[in-house]
């Protein structure tokens, strides 16, 4: 498939505001694609060169792209920079320069999807001494052989600003329609995606083996599984009512969720984040101990990595744990603040998938393979039959510095990527005058006024994720809680992803000064969840009176954006559940 045709489809996607229209456009594009091309096309459409756990980056900054454009079009860098300041989009800048360029390509071959993917991968793999100059020349050659519209999207892709507004759910529905003629197989495709974390792989199997191939997909080592999530409960009594006779109750650790894959024969260990990103190098202390503390040839386990002081038997604050996400001085930090990995589930053991086993059996297998229990331990747990037993254990865990408990159905399977009542969380914030915080997606921002003029940002427009509709629904404007450092950081981040029109997957009647792609997640606390006709949260899905939900007196509480995908933010359904939990109790701190 020629990339010029793909670029035409990308342009169509930019011009529509209906998600159903986007699905139609995508499915038509996919239907013209071969199985040899579909994986590369999926990654390109996601704005990536690989699934997130491989972490490939093209490594082209704006300055390098401008230098490449100067070579490929013959324009002076000052001319390019001036045009860029007018368009605000280096992709459009490159498109205009290619149209007016007097330099002709010596290559008459038209660019295919695979040609482009291989060229970008080559640029990504270029490293070492002189790599910047090599990247510039390779990218200039790519632009020289591209049409104007191809140039627009190649540059946007290289800078991480493709901005097609597509979520995974939209792509899955389009894949279903491209093969079966309808969207009915989306759930089956999502199940496949949940166990491998690789949308390109799912698409390839679908195109190669059809729906049957998706049904037969199995868990594989070093392909991270999308994690199962917990629902909230109103009370300890509700947990028992939902779980039945008895349930397992575990401590809820305020750390970094980690999925560990190990193969002793290959002498290989990888650790993945909640977002399926590889974060192995952040945990040298755990890597040193995993082979000796886990008695298995091959395994996939899940838990929370958290800073823990063995001398005082204290769990350290999340702020200390999160420091591991730094790129430098990790070894030094691991010696200063060692992390422990508290495991709570096992999904794969010695070549066998365990996710279909009951939780009680999985937990027994997990405990059996943890032999030394120094750095890698099972999470604290009890088997409870009464709400009083849960409450006593809850209070004990809070006293020890944990944030609450998670109750689990003893007979439940591990359902990848799902949020079900087979896991129910109860945090201390639910039982006190403090509210639970919510994770909101930034969908726009307002210009700074008065003392905030110099920062270029005076407030945010934020949304929740409606997972039924794969849309982001506005819920609040946030104007307080910012430090000067945050305002400067957010202004810089959001300025790079601002758009001229409302993104296709955003629903909001409130208009900010600048729309942004729904990409960044922030942690927010509010006094109360209220009913509001202003915001779109839950207006159609959960309300009969066309009145949505909003946050009263919201403020930012985290230091920066959260390490979460936009689709992992608080959902519309969760907001409704929290609204019902309030019972007129103040939620402020």
Q: What is the pLDDT of residues 479-523, one digit of tens each?
A: 877 777 888 888 888 988 888 788 889 999 999 999 999 999 999
Write down the pLDDT at residue 453. Answer: 59
Say how far apart CA 131 and CA 34 lie, in whole Å: 33
Segment 390-398 shows an average pLDDT of: 91
Share above pLDDT 90 across residues of the chain, in percent, rounded to a whole number: 64
pLDDT at residue 585, as a whole number: 47
Instruction: Please give the pLDDT value at position 161.
Output: 87
Least confident of 51-55, 257-261, 558-562: 558-562
In this predicted structure, the answer to whether residue 9 has a pLDDT above a threshold of 90 is yes
pLDDT band at 77 (very low <50, low <70, confident <90, very high): very high
User: What is the residue whose two structure tokens read 């003629």?
Assistant: 181
Cβ-based neighbours of 544, under 8 Å, separated by 6 or more: none
pLDDT digits (tens, 9 = 90+) for 528-541: 888 888 899 998 76
**What confidence score (pLDDT) does residue 454 get?**
62
pLDDT score of 433: 38
Strand ranges across the sheet with 229-232: 229-232, 419-427, 404-409, 247-252, 381-384
> How many CA atoms does the CB half-sphere of 463 hold within 13 Å?
33
Q: Which residue has the tokens 């409450």?
A: 391
- Band of pLDDT at residue 34, cut at 50, 70 and 90: very high
Comparing 273 with 234, the larger pLDDT belongs to: 273
Tokens of 285: 């202390």
499 forms beta bridges with: 515
Q: Burial level of 450, CB count in 10 A (0-12/13-18/19+)?
A: exposed
162 or 431, which is more confident?
162
The β-bridge relationship of strands 381-384 and 404-409 is unpaired
Among 129-143, 166-180, 402-416, 431-445, the range scoring the smallest mean pLDDT is 431-445
Q: Which residues are within 8 A (CB) of 112 and not within 5 positions of it... i.e. 6 or more apart?
A: 1, 2, 3, 37
Q: Following DSSP, what letter does each residue of 361-372 receive, concatenated?
A: HHHHHHHHHB-S
What does the pLDDT read at residue 497?
87
For residue 434, the model assigns a pLDDT of: 37
pLDDT in tens, 228-270: 999 888 789 999 999 988 999 999 998 899 999 999 999 999 9
Indicate if the pLDDT at residue 104 is higher than 70.
no
> What is the reported pLDDT for 556?
87
Is the per-residue pLDDT at 311 higher than 80? no
As a whole number of angstroms, the distance between CA 204 and CA 34 comes to 9
Question: What local confidence, expressed as pLDDT, does residue 3 receive?
Answer: 97
Given a cut of 80, whether residue 316 has pLDDT beyond it is: no
Residue 358 phi/psi, 5-degree rounding, is -60, 150
pLDDT at 334 over 60: yes
pLDDT of residue 147: 94
> Tokens for 430?
């639910």
Which three-class secondary structure state does DSSP give residue 385?
coil
Average pLDDT over residues 339-364: 96
Please report the domains of the chain, with CATH numbers, ordered by start residue.
3-158 (1.10.3260.10), 229-424 (3.30.470.30), 438-582 (2.40.50.140)
d(CA 366, CA 589): 39
Catalytic residues: 252
pLDDT, the chain, mean: 89
Q: Bigger pLDDT: 202 or 429?
A: 202
- Tokens 């000067």 correspond to 484
The pLDDT value recorded for residue 432 is: 46
Burial (Cβ within 10 Å: 0-12, 13-18, ≥19) of residue 429: middle
Lowest mean pLDDT, pick from 104-118, 175-189, 418-432: 418-432
């Amino acid at each position: 498939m020629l990339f010029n045709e793909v670029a035409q489809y990308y342009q169509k996607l930019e011009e529509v505001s209906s998600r159903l229209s986007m699905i139609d456009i995508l499915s038509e594009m996919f239907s013209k694609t071969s199985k040899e091309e579909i994986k590369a096309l999926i990654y390109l459409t996601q704005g990536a060169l690989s699934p997130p756990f491989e972490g490939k980056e093209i490594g082209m900054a704006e300055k390098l792209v401008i230098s490449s454009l100067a070579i490929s079009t013959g324009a002076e860098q000052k001319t390019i920079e001036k045009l860029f300041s007018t368009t605000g989009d280096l992709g459009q800048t490159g498109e205009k320069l290619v149209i007016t360029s007097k330099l002709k390509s010596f290559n008459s071959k038209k660019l295919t999807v695979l040609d482009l993917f291989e060229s970008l991968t080559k640029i990504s793999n270029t490293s070492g001494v002189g790599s910047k100059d090599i990247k510039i020349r390779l990218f200039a050659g790519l632009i020289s052989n591209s049409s104007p519209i191809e140039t627009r999207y190649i540059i946007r892709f290289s800078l991480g600003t493709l901005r097609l507004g597509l979520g995974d759910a939209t792509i899955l529905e389009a894949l279903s329609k491209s093969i079966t003629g309808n969207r009915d197989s989306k759930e089956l495709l999502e199940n496949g995606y949940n166990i491998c974390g690789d949308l390109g792989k799912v698409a390839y199997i679908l195109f190669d083996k059809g729906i049957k191939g998706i049904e037969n997909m199995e868990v594989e080592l070093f392909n991270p599984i999308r994690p199962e999530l917990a629902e909230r409960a109103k009370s300890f009594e509700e947990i028992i009512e939902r779980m039945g006779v008895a349930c397992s109750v575990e401590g809820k650790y305020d750390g970094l969720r980690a999925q560990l894959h190990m193969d002793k024969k290959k002498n290989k260990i990888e650790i993945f984040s909640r977002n399926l990103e590889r974060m192995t190098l952040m945990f040298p202390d755990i890597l040193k101990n995993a082979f000796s503390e886990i008695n298995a040839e091959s395994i996939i386990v899940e838990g929370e990595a958290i800073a823990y002081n063995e001398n005082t038997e204290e769990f350290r604050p999340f702020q200390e744990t999160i420091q591991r996400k730094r790129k430098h001085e990790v070894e030094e930090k691991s010696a200063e603040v060692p992390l422990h990995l508290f495991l709570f589930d096992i999904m794969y053991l010695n070549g066998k998938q365990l996710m279909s086993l009951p939780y009680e059996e999985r937990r027994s297998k997990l405990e059996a393979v943890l032999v030394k229990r120094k750095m890698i331990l099972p999470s604290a747990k009890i088997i409870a039959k009464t709400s009083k037993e849960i409450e006593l254990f809850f209070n004990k865990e809070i006293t020890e510095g944990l944030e609450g408990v998670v109750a689990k159905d003893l007979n439940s399977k591990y359902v990848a990527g799902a949020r079900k009542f087979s896991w129910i969380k109860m945090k201390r914030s639910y039982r006190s005058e403090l509210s639970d915080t919510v994770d909101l997606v930034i969908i726009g921002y307002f210009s700074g006024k008065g003392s905030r003029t110099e920062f270029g940002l005076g407030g945010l427009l934020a949304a929740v994720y409606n997972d039924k509709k794969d849309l982001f629904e506005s819920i609040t404007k946030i104007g307080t809680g910012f430090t000067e450092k945050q305002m400067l950081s957010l202004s810089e981040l959001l300025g790079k992803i601002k758009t001229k029109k409302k993104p296709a997957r955003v629903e909001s009647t409130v208009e900010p000064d600048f729309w942004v792609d729904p990409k960044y997640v922030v942690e927010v606390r509010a006094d109360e969840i209220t009913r509001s006709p202003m915001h779109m949260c839950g207006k159609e899905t959960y309300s009969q009176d066309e009145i949505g939900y909003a946050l009263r007196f919201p403020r930012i509480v985290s230091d920066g954006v959260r390490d979460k995908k936009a689709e992992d933010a608080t959902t519309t359904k969760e907001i409704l559940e929290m609204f019902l939990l309030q019972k007129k109790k103040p939620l402020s701190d």
